[in-house]
Amino acid sequence: MNTVATILSAIQVGPYTLENRVIMAPLTRSRAGQGNMPTALNVHYYTQRASAGLIITEATQVSLEGVGYPLTPGIHNAEQVAGWRRVTDSVHAKGGRIFLQLWHVGRISHPSLQPNGALPLAPSEIRPGGQAFTYAGLKDFVTPRALKLAEIPTIVEQFRKSAANALTAGFDGVEIHGANGYLLDQFLRDGTNQRLDAYGGSIKNRVRLVLEVTEAVCSVWGANRVGIRLSPLTAFNDMRDSCPEETFSFAVRELNRFGLAYLHITEMGKDKPGAAGPTFDLIKLRHIWKGPYMTNGGYDLESANAVLAQGAADMVAFGTLFIANPDLPLRFAEHAPLNVPDPETFYGGDEKGYTDYPYLDD
């Protein structure tokens, strides 16, 4: 007789047996130190949450050009690797598992955040609506510079080298950030990709960079320690696609060939159907994908257990609940009250709203 999995059931993901399916979602918190370095405060924050089945770190840039926000960490130099090593050592000492999310923001940046004040990079010269977060406050986004064909292998190499740095830093694996309107997502969707070369036009061409990056990262880690995150429904960062069901179904079919650790689909945008293009039921991607499937999007204990019972996902990533509840798996197990997140302290600052939320046994 098969037992229905719950959010507290163990699961095999690649070479790892995760103790539960309560995954810590990647969460930008803008609390890195000078030089985009992880600090002792970051060590404390992640160690507090080591009881997650898996921690996925905040998005971490693969190059100087990949920076899009103040005080976000990198993984492209030796000092950053050393900083992250302190995080992984501490999480492992508590019995936790931790993957690093690899990130390039593409056009979602500003010259003030770029080397020598250069224009941000993108597949095409299309300025996003909205404003960038900079050290001088909000600034209007600028029209980015389109990457030349000869520059694209450099992007792939930045992801590969940063994946190798993550290995040196002691992570258990990596997640490729292909979501939320950042560089890989910009190549994938036709609202931001109007190239006429081998990386634009057809869906096959638009998915090319995602697949090349995935292949490069897998060459470092082996596919079973690599995940990828996609966001088919979100209009965040001024994103749109003319046929997202076709685009993302094709991408997921192509990604199947790698045998990745998991596919992470965020449901972000489902509350605004059609904002990012024609809407569709994400269960279609679940049926296409042949490996472990992670979902994310405002779940609580009851809804997470329901989506697992329905077979619509294998794991659930929690964001704001993990911000406010460092011992979230225990609170779920005990059906205990949850701390309430404080949105005013989500981005930037010190330990307030970061490492000072109480544990259940406090």
Alpha carbon distance, N-terminus to C-terminus of the chain? 40
Residue 327 lies in a domain: no
241-278 pLDDT, tens digit per residue, is: 999 999 999 999 999 999 999 999 999 999 999 999 99
| Per-chain mean pLDDT for the chain | 97
Structure tokens, 194:
């109007």
Kindly tell me if the per-residue pLDDT of 52 is higher than 90: yes
Domain region containing 188: 11-18+32-40+57-80+99-298
Considering 45, 46, 69, 182, which one is annotated as catalytic?
A: 182
Residue 3 lies in a domain: no
Please tell me whether residue 318 adopts helix, strand or coil conformation.
strand
Q: Measured between alpha carbons, how far is 190 from 320 in angstroms, rounded to an integer? A: 31
**Residue 190 is part of a domain; what is its CATH number?**
3.20.20.70
Residue 314 lies in a domain: no
Residues with Cβ within 8 Å of 96's Cβ and at least 6 positions away in sequence, in order, are: 47, 49, 50, 51, 52, 55
- What mean pLDDT is predicted for residues 73-98? 98
Q: Measured between alpha carbons, how far is 99 from 247 in angstroms, rounded to an integer? A: 27
User: What is the pTM for the complete model shown?
Assistant: 0.98
- For residue 358, how many other CB atoms are within 10 A of its CB? 11
Please report, for residues 90, 263, 299, 300, the alpha-carbon distance to residue 317 in angstroms, rounded to integers and kept in the order given.
Answer: 21, 12, 8, 10
Residue 91 lies in a domain: no
Residue 333 lies in a domain: no
Residue 4 lies in a domain: no
Task: Please report which helix (H) or strand (E) contains residue 330, including its range.
Answer: helix 328-334
On whether the CB atoms of residues 150 and 167 are closer than 8 A, the answer is no
Residue 128 lies in a domain: yes
Kindly tell me if the per-residue pLDDT of 1 is higher than 80: no
Our count of domains for the chain comes to 1
Single out the residue of 237, 303, 248 nearest to residue 280, CA to CA: 248
- For residue 95, how many other CB atoms are within 10 A of its CB? 9
Kindly tell me if the per-residue pLDDT of 237 is higher than 50: yes
345-361 pLDDT, tens digit per residue, is: 999 999 999 999 999 98
Of the pLDDT bands very low, low, confident and very high (cuts 50, 70, 90), residue 362 is confident
Of the pLDDT bands very low, low, confident and very high (cuts 50, 70, 90), residue 2 is low
175-200 pLDDT, tens digit per residue, is: 999 999 999 999 999 999 999 999 99
Residue 199 annotated as catalytic? no
Task: Please report which helix (H) or strand (E) contains residue 323, including its range.
Answer: helix 320-324
Residue 107 lies in a domain: yes
